[in-house]
Amino acid sequence: MTGYGTLWPMSMSETPVSTYRNFIDGQWVPAESAATFDNRSPANQDDLLGRVPMSSAADVGQAVAAARAAFPHWRLAPAPRRAEILYRAAQILSDRKQDLAATMTREMGKILDETRGDVQEAVDMAQLMAGEGRRMYGQTVPSELRDKFAMSLRQPIGVCGMITAWNFPIAVPSWKILPALVCGNTVVFKPAEEAPASAINFVQALADAGLPKGVLNLVLGDGPGAGAPLLAHPDVSVISFTGSTETGRLINQACAPTFKKVHLEMGGKNAILVMDDANLELAVDGALWGGFGTTGQRCTAASRVVVHEKVYKAFLDAFVARAKTLRVGDGLDPNTQMGPSVSEAQLQRVIEYVAIGQQEGARLATGGTRLTTGAWSKGFFHEPTVFADVTRSMRIAREEIFGPVVSVLSCASLDEAIDIANDVAYGLSASIYTQDINKAFVAMRDVYTGIFYVNAPTIGAEVHLPFGGTKATGNGHREAGTAALDVFSEWKSVYVDFSGKLQRAQIDVVDI
Ligand code: UN1
């Protein structure tokens, strides 16, 4: 192994507590400043994984310079050759899945099943985007003039800055970095403060797959220190961001003066609609997984369940009973079903919203308390929490909490359920549980979100369809699927006139 910052393949007990390094121009290098912050497990604050450098504008400047220098060569590498590196990366990530998942669980808390799934999502994306290396379809269309050829092709844009969230520490970076690379761009990657080790592991996998130096660069640190200089840098052409709506708005503003292309993937307040004809057992399973999977820390989390009044009580009783049985603990323990919140700040947000819900008059049906005894005392644990009798105007029904808190609302009809689902600022994901195909299709058409499920929860998107949302969730772009290529490439329309004479479009009419 060449990477100083590499965590793989050391087992956890062997991992030294060291200061992580940035990856710039193919080398693991220290940040200019010696300032660091700790990467500690949210399940056990005594467990120190490493120290994270507070990179600054100088480090970002070097990373952008390396990415810029690598661009002319990488841009001209045939896309199928670029794709071969992604195929190898898919295999490497798959081979290292267990280790990468263990490190991820340790640094951000979600359970091992889910961190393995996170790595798998990056494997899937690497395979999908490697395939794009041999497709990346453009259009070839007939010209209106004789002896003239017309086609469109994708061209890379340049240096892309990727600013990612901690809840999917390898999957979400893969959604951005892999399409950018296959299109021929180079990258500076600024991961979330809470998941630097997973970012290092992901970058190392790509380096080991044979990515040329400078094509992918990693700068660790916080938003103001390492993120802001990326937004302001004149040589960065694209910014792709996953995180909160508040930060996304600031990013969009910061990128406006230099006309960067900005892709934003932000919050959600996703609803599951449960109709009176639904298979209730299935709906309860879905609401549990959608609401408490990843401790509710998914932008796709089912933080609202809108239940038809005829089955409201039956659903609520079963849902609450099941929520009470969820085993909360360290995600490294295979028996754990729900891990901690990622940080004290995130947990405080949960606690704050529990208080808000109570003040607003919602009924706390279960949970509502921080878990502080025994092994829980060292981490950021909270009971799975269900609020019943929530109304749509309450803040707990409108604002993204990003924690294990689910609001249950009642409705009298499909129309009302759809109206409630749409009556929030966000539009990422939604779902309906019904046996009635007509109801399913009406909801599929009328719920205004980027993702919709029938008889499945709001989480669990697959990489080969577009991922993203409407309204305050995004800014019109989508990641994943072939839609991702639209973020990381620009169309060029090419006309080839082989008539040997001047032909004027729209003016010269060809006789037939
Ligand atoms: C996110 O929460 O930012 O659909 C991503 C899902 C996952 C991805 C979630 N495949 O829930």
For residue 467, is it within any domain? no
Q: How far is CA 62 from the centre of its chain?
A: 26
Question: Does residue 196 sit in helix, strand or coil?
Answer: helix
460 alpha carbon to ligand 1 midpoint, in Å?
6
How far CA 323 is from CA of 270, 280, 291, in Å, comes to 18, 15, 10
- At residue 15, the pLDDT reads 54
Q: What's the gap in Å between 111 CA and the centre of ligand 1?
A: 15
Q: How many CB atoms are located within 10 Å of the residue 343 CB?
A: 17
Decide: 324 and 288 in contact? Cβ < 8 Å: no
What average pLDDT score do residues 332-349 get? Answer: 98
Specify whether 265 is catalytic.
Answer: yes
Q: Which atom of ligand 1 is nearest to the CA of 242?
A: 3
Q: Point out the catalytic residue in the list 107, 193, 265, 400.
A: 265
Task: Quick: pLDDT tens for 202-256.
Answer: 999 999 999 999 999 999 999 999 999 999 999 999 999 999 999 999 999 999 9
- Which one of 299, 383, 399, 479 is the catalytic residue? 299
Phi-psi region of 446 (alpha: psi -120 to 50; beta: other; left: phi over 0): alpha
For the segment 352-383, what is each residue's pLDDT rounded down to a tens digit?
999 999 999 999 999 999 999 999 999 999 99
Distance of alpha carbon 205 from alpha carbon 87, whole angstroms: 11
For residue 5, pLDDT beyond 80: no
Active site residue 479: no
Is 356 within a domain?
A: yes
pLDDT for 414 equals: 98
Q: What is the pLDDT of residue 10?
A: 44
Tell me how far the alpha carbon of residue 467 lies from the centroid of ligand 1, in angstroms: 9
Percent of the chain, pLDDT > 90?
A: 96
Q: What is the pLDDT of residues 397-424, one digit of tens each?
A: 999 999 999 999 999 999 999 999 999 9
Q: Which atom of ligand 1 is nearest to the CA of 459?
A: 11
Q: Are residues 178 and 291 in the same domain?
A: no
258 lies in the same domain as 286: no
**Which of residues 481 and 16 earns the better pLDDT score?**
481
The verdict on 83 and 215 lying in the same domain is: yes
Residue from 264, 428, 467, 478 to probe ligand 1 pocket by mutation (most atoms less than 8 Å from CB): 467
In a domain, 499, yes or no: no
The residues that bridge with 74 in the sheet, in sequence order, are none
Q: Does any domain span residue 306? A: yes
The finding on whether 459 has its CB within 6 A of some atom of ligand 1 is yes
Domain CATH for 124: 3.40.605.10
pLDDT digits (tens, 9 = 90+) for 173-211: 999 999 999 999 999 999 999 999 999 999 999 999 999
- Residue 9, pLDDT > 60, answer no
Query: Quick check: CB of 300 below 6 Å from ligand 1?
Result: yes
What are the angstrom distances between the C-alpha of 184 and each of 75, 178, 187, 484? 5, 10, 10, 13
Domain containing 157: what range?
A: 49-266+474-492
Same domain, 130 and 225: yes
Does residue 37 form part of some domain?
no
Which of the listed residues 108, 198, 299 should we mutate to test ligand 1's pocket, taking the one with most ligand atoms within 8 A of CB?
299
Strand 271-274 relative to strand 429-433, pairing = parallel
Name the residue with tokens 């892309």: 160
- Distance between Cα 271 and ligand 1 center (Å): 15
Q: What is the helix, strand, coil percentage profile of the chain, to 5?
A: 40, 20, 40
Residue 449 Cα to ligand 1 middle (Å): 14
Residue 9 located in a structural domain: no
315 CB within 6 A, ligand 1: no
pLDDT digits (tens, 9 = 90+) for 28-47: 999 999 999 999 999 999 99
Q: Is the shortest distance between the CB of 480 and ligand 1 below 6 Å?
A: no
Q: What is the total count of domains within the chain?
A: 2
Q: Which amino acid is at 477?
A: H
Query: In this predicted model, which residue has the larger pLDDT, 6 or 168?
Result: 168
Instruction: Say yes or no: CB of residue 460 within 6 Å of ligand 1.
Output: yes
Q: What is the mean pLDDT of the chain?
A: 96
Task: Using the atom order of ligand 1, give the atom closest to the CA of residue 297.
Answer: 2
Residue 64 sits in the same domain as residue 200: yes
Residues 442 and 397 reside in one and the same domain? yes
168 CA from centroid of ligand 1 (Å): 7
Q: What is the pLDDT of residue 256?
A: 94
Q: Are residues 342 and 222 in the same domain?
A: no
272-296: per-residue pLDDT in tens?
Answer: 999 999 999 999 999 999 999 999 9
Does 259 share its domain with 332? Answer: no
Give the integer Cα–Cα distance in Å for 325 and 213: 50
- The pLDDT tens digits for 91-119 are 999 999 999 999 999 999 999 999 999 99
Residue 359 tokens, joined: 């003040």
Handedness of CA 337, 342, 344, 348 (dihedral sign): negative
Are 252 and 363 part of one and the same domain? no
- Kindly state whether residues 255 and 280 are assigned to the same domain: no
pLDDT confidence band for 6 (50 / 70 / 90): very low
C-alpha 344 – ligand 1 centre gap (Å)? 22
Any domain includes 348 = yes
240 with 94, same domain: the answer is yes
From 164, 298, 451, 463, give the residue whose CB has the most ligand 1 atoms within 8 Å, as the site to mutate. 298
Q: Which parts of 14-168 fold into alpha helices (H)?
A: 57-76, 79-95, 97-108, 112-132
What is the per-residue pLDDT for 8? 44
Confidence of residue 147 (pLDDT cuts 50, 70, 90): very high
Query: Quick check: is 254 in a domain?
Result: yes
User: Which atom of ligand 1 lies at the shortest distance from residue 299's CA?
Assistant: 2
CATH of the domain at 441: 3.40.309.10
Residue type present at position 113: D
User: By three-state DSSP, how is residue 193 classified?
Assistant: coil
Tell whether 105 and 177 lie within a shared domain: yes
